[in-house]
Structure 1
Amino acid sequence: MAEKLSTGTRVRLLAAAERLLLTERYDDVSVRAICAEAGANPAAVHYHFGSKDALVAALLEDRLGPLWADRLSAVTAGRVPVADVVDAVLEPFVALVDDPVGRLHLRLLAQFVLGRHPALWSQRWFQMTSWVGLLPELSEGDSRRRWELAFDLIIMRFGGAGAQEREMSRAAVAALREFVVAGLTAPSKEKK
């Protein structure tokens, strides 16, 4: 019984945070407001998640993780071209930008990630360590930097400031894809 109540409170906190964060800026939403919206004890966020950042990371993983998990696991099961991996990353972004709630999730993702909120991601494809090995010809540091830049660019284009006004036509998505693939696959200038 206590576990059901705990799970129920966790779900209510995620839903309350989502409602608030989809209409307000990340920095303008307080832990107290999330607890009040969820009808939960003021300490519930800290009990269930540890912090507001951890709650938002859990929310983003819960809402967006399933869009990438199977697709990326399948495409990276063997040695595949980087372009195939980039396609698997971009496809959900393209679908999300066409959906009003999806656009709001992208805006939240951009606020959170581009705002450099530290997160303890738990799902595989939210952790940078899952990506660095996909560029085996580069050092771990160079691979990490390139993936970070690629994700910053993708997230900014789809969810960052002004993204709602920017058209993401097929041509724009194709150009973004080519640019990201070129950046990830360019020869390394790093000295070994």
Structure 2
Amino acid sequence: MVEKVAAGTRERLLAAAERLLLTEPYDEVSVRAVCAAAGANPAAVHYHFGSKEALVGALIEDRLGPLWAEGLAGATGGRDSVPAVVDTILAPFLELASDPLGRLHLRLLARFVLGRHLTSWRGPWFRMDSWAKLLPELAPAEAKRRWMLAFDLIIMRFGTPEIEEHGMPGPALTALRDFVVAGLTAPGEQR
């Protein structure tokens, strides 16, 4: 029973943070406001997440993780699989960019990834180790660097106001995809 109540409070906090962040800038949404909007104890965010950053990290992971999990579950490693993996990564970005709530999630993701906020990611597709395994011909540190650059570029492109307003034109998407694939598959430091 206690676990069910805790899970309910956790989800209410995530939903309240999401609602508030749709209308207010990140820096103006306080932990106290999230707790009040969720009808929770003022210390609930700290109890369930530890910090505002961890709450937002959990929100990002909770809302975005399932979009990639199914497509990436069967991903195999190696240069030949990279184009399909990149397509699997880009598809949810396109979908999210066309929806106001999706754009909020992309903005939050951009804030965290590009701002290098520290949070403890739980899901495998939010940790670079999982991605590095998809480039087995490269040394793990090199594979992680490449994936970090790829995600920085993708997130930066989808986080621009131009894309939020008009979407990603086909030629721009093709160029982004081809550039990311080329960067991930280029020869480099071998294992």
What TM-score do you get using the length of structure 1 for normalisation? 0.91
More helix by share: 2
Structure-2 residue corresponding to 1:95 = 95
The one-letter code sitting in structure 2 at the alignment partner of 1:164 is E
**Aligned-CA RMSD value:** 1.9
Match of 2:29 in 1: 29
Trace 1:4-153 onto structure 2 (pairs within 5 A): 4-74=4-74, 76-77=75-76, 80-153=80-153
Contact 1:22 1:108 (8 Å CA) reproduced: no
Instruction: Give 5+ residue unaligned stretches, structure 1.
Output: none
Deviation at 1:121, TM superposition (A): 0.6
Partners of 1:117 and 1:28 lie apart in 2 by 17
Name which of structure 1's ranges 29-38 and 76-85 shifts more when overlaid on structure 2: 76-85
Specify the alignment match of 2:168 in structure 1.
Answer: 168
Distance 1:139 1:161, change over 3 A: farther
* 1:20/1:34 contact within 8 Å kept: yes
% identity of equivalent residues: 66
CA distance in 2, matches of 1:22, 1:152: 23
What stretches of structure 1 move > 3 A for 4+ residues in a row?
Answer: 77-80, 160-163
Are the aligned partners of 2:54 and 2:119 in contact in 1 as well (CA < 8 Å)?
Answer: yes
Whether the 8 Å CA contact 1:111–1:160 is kept in 2: the answer is no
**Structure 1 residue 166, shift from structure 2 partner:** 5.7
Amino acid at match of 2:103: R
SS state of the match for residue 23, structure 2? coil
Per-residue CA deviations over 1:127-165 (Å, capped at 9, x if unaligned) read 111001111221111111110010011011112455424
Q: Is the 8 A contact 1:45 1:52 kept in 2?
A: yes
Return the letter of the residue paired with 1:5.
V
TM-score, normalisation: structure 2: 0.91
Q: How far apart are residue 167 of structure 1 and its match?
A: 4.1
Q: Give the total of aligned pairs.
A: 190
CA distance in 2, matches of 1:162, 1:148: 23
